[in-house]
């Protein structure tokens, strides 16, 4: 009788061990990777996708009247061998693709533990945090989005994303009431402009603890008491302790930096109290000049030569040159890299070194201040936290270098210079509001008197449809009337 009693237990233990070991970044065929990177191209260059959009993680397929695109570029590394960045036409996030396969490990219950964070949940789910978030989490909360998952042994993966609203739920027994939870199925059209995602295997409990410490330093927006955003069921107690203390502001003035075991990836976390230009901070930590493509709109951080700006911290060394990208290209197609809610806009936050073979995947926009005489040093992204994953890989670097080949913003203090020629826009009705009106996002053309009204507040704000509206024209009962422009 003893073998009959023990055999099922042995099988169960073996299955659990295999399941724990397999938790990590997955490619579209379900195979494991050390890391992968996707760049969701903008809609003007690569509209729609070749497959059928589905909503496996919740939501309904959205029509998105102004346009959408879910094609993407993909690079990955398996066993230390990197596959070059290449174009994929299938629908990112809902089928046999890295994003869907990797996130499914959270949503289908495979992961014993997970955390989801995003500064732009738009109240769905609502975060029980202090200071309180309104429709989104503004400064000093971290401008950061992503998910992390680990098993009983503490190993797993981290998934960095730039998409507002997604992911917003890891508990398949619950549903987001308004926004949806699958790319292409989210109420807010984050399938229009370019985005990026980066997934990295956490090969030890120490790796997982390191990333959680970086998340804490960045003051990521999450809620430990909400099962849609956090599940802690089995694993090292020291990891769980850090996790339970997230959703709080970290007022430290020390930049976090540490190296992970897979591919020698370095993680950097900017705290909100270090009021400096974010990508100059990264250049300082790495002692490298960078070329950066990010959400670039007012208050703009132009290109900067090497040297210490007026808004700086004495604990940081001198930053090197930081170029701000205005346009890039892929397969002979020019793509805009501006922070604008257009078919040619870019919301990804990536960089490559101008010397060496370094790539950086980040959370933060090219917005803020170089000089206190121009704007307060804690303005915009200067006053927020965020994370950056740094990879030294020649193949990945070459891919990003090709992608970011294009026009560069003028250098701060050098005077005006012409920007790239405007990209064509599809015809459509003129907006009814000078800020853009129904169905538009506030962008670089939106002034300080503009505010974004969310779908759930259409009635309270007396507008026919969500969009960017003149603040003064909104009724006092409109929740967004007191909010800052969403950037």
Calpha distance 364→387 (Å, rounded): 8
Q: For residue 361, what are the CA distances in angstroms to 204, 275, 377, 406, 407?
A: 21, 20, 24, 19, 20
Q: Is the peptide bond before 299 cis (omega within 30 degrees of 0)?
A: yes
Q: What is the pLDDT of residue 163?
A: 98
Q: Which pair of structure tokens corresponds to residue 249?
A: 């502001």
Q: Tell me the pTM.
A: 0.84
Do 38 and 91 form a contact (C-beta atoms < 8 A)?
A: no
φ/ψ of 84, rounded to 5, equals -65, 155
Taking residues 182-206, report their average pLDDT.
96
Do 31 and 118 form a contact (C-beta atoms < 8 A)?
A: no
Q: What is the pLDDT of residue 447?
A: 62
Return mean pLDDT, the chain. 89
Q: What is the pLDDT of residue 486?
A: 45
φ/ψ of 60, rounded to 5, equals -125, 145
Segment 220-274, tens digit of pLDDT? 999 999 999 999 999 999 999 999 999 999 999 999 999 999 999 999 999 999 9
* Domain locations along the chain: 18-251, 266-403, 437-482
Q: What is the pLDDT of residue 80?
A: 95
H/E element, 15? helix 2-22
Q: What is the pLDDT of residue 448?
A: 59
Segment 298-330, tens digit of pLDDT? 999 999 999 999 999 999 999 999 999 999 999
Length of the chain: 487
Of 129-138, 146-155, 282-291, 476-485, the poorest mean pLDDT is in 476-485
Of 177-181, 210-214, 396-400, the poorest mean pLDDT is in 177-181
Residue 201 pLDDT exceeds 90:
yes
Q: What is the pLDDT of residue 455?
A: 66
What is the percentage of the chain residues whose pLDDT exceeds 70? 87
Q: For residue 238, what are the CA distances in angstroms to 44, 75, 212, 251, 254?
A: 47, 33, 11, 21, 22
Q: What is the pLDDT of residue 456?
A: 61
Is residue 454 very low, low, confident or very high in pLDDT (cuts 50, 70, 90)? low
Segment 341-358, tens digit of pLDDT? 999 999 999 999 999 999
- Helix (H) and strand (E) counts in the chain: 6, 20
Q: SS3 of 398, please? A: helix
């Amino acid at each position: 009788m003893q073998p009959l009693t023990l055999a099922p237990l042995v099988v169960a233990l073996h299955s659990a061990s295999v399941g724990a070991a397999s938790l990590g970044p997955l490619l579209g065929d379900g195979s494991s990777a050390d890391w992968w990177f996707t760049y969701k191209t903008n809609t003007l260059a690569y509209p729609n996708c070749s497959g059928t959009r589905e909503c496996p993680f919740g939501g309904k397929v959205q029509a998105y009247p102004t346009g959408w695109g879910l094609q993407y570029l993909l690079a990955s590394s398996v066993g230390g061998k990197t596959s070059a960045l290449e174009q994929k036409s299938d629908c990112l996030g809902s089928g046999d693709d890295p994003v869907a396969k990797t996130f499914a490990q959270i949503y289908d219950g495979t992961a014993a533990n997970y955390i989801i964070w995003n500064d732009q949940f738009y109240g769905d789910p609502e975060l029980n945090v202090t200071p309180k978030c309104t429709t989104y989490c503004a400064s000093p909360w971290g401008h950061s989005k992503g998910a992390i998952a680990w098993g009983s042994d503490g190993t797993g993966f981290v998934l960095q994303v730039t998409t507002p609203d997604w992911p917003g739920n890891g508990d398949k027994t619950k549903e987001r009431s308004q926004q949806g939870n699958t790319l292409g199925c989210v109420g807010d059209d984050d399938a229009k402009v370019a985005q990026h995602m980066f997934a990295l295997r956490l090969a030890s409990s120490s790796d997982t603890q390191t990333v959680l410490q970086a998340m804490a330093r960045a003051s990521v927006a999450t809620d430990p008491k909400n099962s849609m955003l956090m599940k802690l069921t089995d694993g090292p107690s020291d990891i769980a302790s850090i996790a339970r203390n997230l959703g709080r502001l970290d007022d430290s003035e020390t930049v976090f930096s540490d190296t992970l075991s897979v591919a020698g990836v370095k993680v950097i976390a900017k705290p909100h109290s270090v009021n400096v230009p974010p990508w100059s901070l990264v250049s300082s930590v790495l002692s490298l000049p960078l070329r950066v493509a990010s959400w670039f709109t007012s208050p703009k951080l132009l290109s900067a030569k090497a040297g210490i700006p007026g808004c700086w911290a004495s604990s940081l060394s001198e930053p090197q040159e930081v170029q701000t990208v205005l346009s890039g290209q892929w397969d002979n197609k020019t793509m805009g890299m501006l922070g604008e809610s257009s078919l040619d806009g870019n919301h990804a936050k990536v960089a490559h070194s101008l010397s060496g073979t370094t790539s950086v995947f980040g959370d933060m926009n090219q917005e803020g201040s170089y000089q206190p005489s121009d704007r307060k040093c804690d303005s915009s992204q200067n006053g927020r936290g965020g994370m950056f994953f740094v990879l030294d890989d020649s193949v990945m670097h070459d891919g990003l270098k090709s992608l970011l080949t294009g026009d560069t913003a003028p250098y701060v203090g050098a005077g005006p210079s012409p920007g790239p020629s405007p990209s064509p826009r599809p015809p459509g009705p003129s907006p009814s509001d000078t800020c853009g009106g129904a169905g538009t996002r506030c962008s670089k053309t939106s002034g300080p008197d503009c505010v974004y009204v969310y779908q759930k507040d259409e009635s309270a704000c007396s507008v026919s449809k969500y969009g960017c509206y003149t603040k003064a024209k909104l009724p006092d009962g409109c929740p967004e009337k007191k909010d800052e422009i969403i950037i």
